Structure 1
């Protein structure tokens, strides 16, 4: 009877273990489309063993769920997510800059843009004035062309500033999302440390990993595994975000009109060293790329304005009076594109004649027209410098788009590799379901047979009411 009782216990444990395996499989199927879910497999372990006369007998079997996660592969996906998110954010910002100048993948010609056309029209208007220096309509055309040029400089500069302002607003929004996720990760660290400090915590780790993946899309991270199955997270430049069950929020501060990022742990401005994620791409565009474009635009506006002003004061206007500055400019090149404006509305103030000519002369108008082919800025003509600026913007935008496509392809490859291990395959789960069901039926059959044998033994082979 003792052996039969043991056999019945073993059958009972097998039934429990098989039922647990069926539950694990059902859970996998139910969570096939759950974001961040990691497939679980059944781990079978023999129960306590008993040794009699040199032979070891196992008392049954138990089953448990083990998540199929590769921590190294998970971190590779996180790191690539950070790189891809940064390249995507940079690509988006540079496409906005391209749109300001009317650039496209098929055209980066200065002559096809509004500002390029305005520059050409402005200098061409002086050629027309040289041909007919006393014509009021021609003089008015020069003023109109000057106003159009100034307006295009103002518009381009203001739009670039608006992009920079929008990027600063994104910084504030991203910081808020980062703080929400780091608080959630710290809370999950606490739960995991309490529930499963020395082994996989199943769904809690799935939730934490999903939160870290989302955080990787926002900011560059370094991750360190700690005791009690915890994780410490820092930014790419070492500012602590999560340490065990504690989170350290990021803050923002205004720095010369831009939004910078501050670590609450140290109070230091950490903007300069932040890379990775959307925040890294936004900061790269705002603090590196856009200031360079704005500076070039300012230099061009300042060079054209100062050279035209210098030449205009050398001549005589229609009234025989020495010419004055045609443009109002800032004191230095900084901010020149947004500040440039035409200083007069009187067409007679244009100094078409040289100081040695009468008021009807045209030598100074020709000298003003010749500025189109003169070296004005950066060792180039105005058109040449502007073409170089457009080429730089176009090249940078194209490179960002190409890089983003490459980074996305790499991320897709790594994600596919991870999912082949951690993702749920319905075909595999169907096969497992059949296997565990047959095992359950076999254990149930053993249980039934042992029950019948025990009944027969108790009844000494006689047909009675005992069953």
Structure 2
């Protein structure tokens, strides 16, 4: 036969479970704004029924439930959405970083698209050089003044190329430092995740769930997945194993680290001699010979902008290579015309030395091999630096003033140089230096627009998946307030059962058998 107080025990289990559910609801509400927090819920089960004898059926046993008990406190998560979000967020971070850092490159050139004819941009510098050469060809001012204007215009063009090249190299150096710092972040994440693996395993040995520690670990994995492409899995003991480039980054309580080494030749062929390459590190943190191939995430975006050297992989080196090609084109074509011309004879006022007209003078320094010329080192030849009279305008020798049958030359070379700056193809399109530069600027704008579009669309995809994930794992105040009411009613009902049983027991203990007593 059942115990007299059996019903109290049943109601007590309901009271305790309702109290636990209310505590968990309060914990959820308290962490509604906690980044990375996962909604928790109490898993319960009915306590197996007890058997006791039945007077109605003395041959059989009656069955009665013993109430409810707690199994564990679970996190409400969808592992599939976690995997999908981390994949999409890595791709979104890749395009966002390319958009952000290539945007700095575009900023160097963006004024050109709006103000192609202003004197402040490189296109304006070509215009100034043309204007000064045109005046030289027309003989509008004295020789020295006209030639000085040509040299000043050329120096301004050179300075603009140097400035743009220098800023690009600075941005590449900044990205290289960012790569190094990001590798340090990856190492920190690996260390923290391995430490949390150990804490979670130790905590869950008792059978409880280390939900808040798991939240910390999941948040770290989210952040790591934005930086670099990873795969991961959880074993039966609660350990996370994380792989990167086919190697374990974290396995149980052990983790590996990465290291950087400046061994990568600068693909831009500029002033940087080396760039950081990423390797797996040994136990002392030194790089091994095993390189790390990065395929996605923010780190991949940094590397693409830092190293990209083709139309399909548009990065700083590709822009620098195009500027270098423009500089080499300027030197080659300008010198080819200028070397055919004849300089002006002149007398040095300081020494009285007279220099006769001569031909074969280079306008720009070709460094002995024009392929060595870059936008960062292009310069005037030493002859032009020494004297503006070495700027050739005539295709015939120029006699000194006062010579018999003096020939003061002509303006054919100056005109030919002007035509070089305004040349057009058969279709009427610019086939000159300014046209090449305009193509560079337009290509940069097109690439940046491509990055903007992909970053925006991929961010939308990642956000949508995250919203789906939050709809499962996030805390809804409306839902939690409903639970407060529901669990409150359950608690009150269990309390009412105890009160009812107490009243029954009071009758049984204090009032039964008293009838007829004095």
Q: Which moved more, 1:226-235 or 1:22-31?
A: 226-235
Please name the residue that 2:376 is paired with: 338
Q: CA deviation at 1:103?
A: 4.0
Question: Residue 69 of structure 2 is aligned with which of 38, 45, 62?
Answer: 62
Q: Per-residue deviation at 1:214?
A: 1.3
Q: Structure 2 vs 1, CA of residues 196 and 143 (structure 1 numbering), >3 Å: closer, same or farther?
A: same
Q: Aligned match of 1:186 in 187, 194, 199?
A: 194
Post-superposition Cα deviations, 1:88-128, rounded to whole Å, max 9, x if no partner, equal 11011111111112348xx3675456111112322332222
1:189-204 matches, within 5 Å, as 189-196=197-204, 201-204=210-213
> Which residue in the other structure is 2:37 paired with?
37
Corresponding residue number in structure 2 for 1:300? 326
Deviates most, 63-72 or 154-163: 63-72
Aligned residues between the structures: 457
Residue number among 472, 478, 491 corresponding to 1:440 in the alignment: 491
Deviations 1:118-155 (A, max 9, x none): 12322332222111186221111110111011111111
Q: Deviations over 1:181-215 (max 9, x none)?
A: 11111111222233337886421221111111111
1:20 paired with 2:20, answer yes
> What TM-score, normalized by structure 2, do the two folds share?
0.82
Residue 323 of structure 1: how far off its partner (Å) = 4.2
Is the contact between residue 314 and residue 322 of structure 1 (CA under 8 Å) also seen in structure 2? yes
SS in 2 for 1:354: coil
Distance 1:55 1:373, change over 3 A: farther
Matched, 1:287 2:307: yes
* Candidates 88, 91, 108, aligned match of 1:83: 91
**Structure number, greater radius of gyration:** 2
Cα deviation for residue 396 of structure 1 reads 0.5
Q: Find the aligned partners of 1:351 and 1:312 in 2 and give their Cα distance.
A: 6
Aligned 8 A contact 1:312 1:364 in 2: yes
Cα 1:335/1:54, change in 2 over 3 Å: farther
Structure 2 SS opposite 1:77: helix
Q: Matched residues in 1 for 2:242 and 2:228: separation?
A: 11
Q: 1: CA distance between counterparts of 2:373 and 2:35?
A: 48
Q: Which runs of 5+ in 2 are unaligned?
A: 53-59, 266-273, 309-314, 346-356, 399-406
SS in 1 for 2:159: helix
Conservation of the 8 A alpha-carbon contact between 2:187 and 2:258:
yes
Partner of 2:132: 125
Residue 304 of structure 1 and its aligned partner are, at CA, apart by 0.3
Q: Which residue of the partner structure matches residue 217 of structure 1?
A: 226
- Check the 8 A contact 1:216/1:277 in 2, yes or no: yes
Task: Quote the residue 1:431 is aligned against.
Answer: 482
Q: Residues 56 and 128 (structure 1 numbering): CA distance in 2 closer, same or farther, change over 3 Å?
A: farther
Residue in structure 1 matched with residue 280 of structure 2 by the alignment:
263
For residue 32 of structure 2, give the secondary structure of its aligned residue in structure 1: coil
Q: Is the 8 A contact 2:423 2:432 kept in 1?
A: yes
How far the C-alpha of 1:48 sits from its partner, in A, is 3.0
Runs of 5+ in structure 1 lacking a partner? Answer: none
Distance 1:181 1:100, change over 3 A: same
Contact 1:154 1:337 in 2 (8 A): yes
Which sits farther off after the overlay, 205-214 or 357-366? 357-366
Give the match's secondary structure for 2:246: coil
- Are the aligned partners of 1:295 and 1:334 in contact in 2 as well (CA < 8 Å)? no
Provide the residue aligned with 2:350 in structure 1. none
Partner SS state of residue 41, structure 2: strand
Mapped to 2, the partners of 1:274 and 1:334 lie a distance apart of 32
- Whole-Å Cα distance in 1 between the matches of residues 15 and 104 of structure 2? 64
How large is the RMSD of aligned CA atoms in angstroms?
2.5
What's the CA shift for 1:30?
0.6
Gap change, CA 1:332 and 1:347, over 3 Å in 2? closer
**Pairwise CA distance, 1:231:** 2.1
Separation (CA, whole Å) in 2 of partners of 1:176 and 1:276: 17
Could you say which structure has the higher helix fraction?
1
TM-score normalised by the chain length of structure 1: 0.91
Cα deviation for residue 315 of structure 1 reads: 1.2
Question: What do the CA deviations read for 1:352-385 (whole angstroms, capped 9, x no partner)?
Answer: 1114664532111122222224599xx9532222
Q: 1:88-107 maps to which residues of 2 (within 5 A)?
A: 88-103=96-111, 107=113
Distance in 1 (alpha carbons) for counterparts of 2:290 and 2:136: 56
291-300 or 46-55, which deviates more: 46-55
1:360 corresponds, among 409, 419, 422, to 409
- Please tell me whether the aligned partners of residues 90 and 226 of structure 2 are also in contact (alpha carbons under 8 angstroms): yes
**Residue 322 of structure 1 corresponds to which residue in structure 2?**
359
Equivalence map 1:122-161=2 (5 Å): 122-132=129-139, 135-161=143-169
Q: Which moved more, 1:49-58 or 1:427-436?
A: 49-58
1:417 equivalent to 2:468? Answer: yes
Q: For residues 269 and 399 of structure 1, what CA distance do their matches in structure 2 show?
A: 33
Contact 1:90 1:400 in 2 (8 A): yes
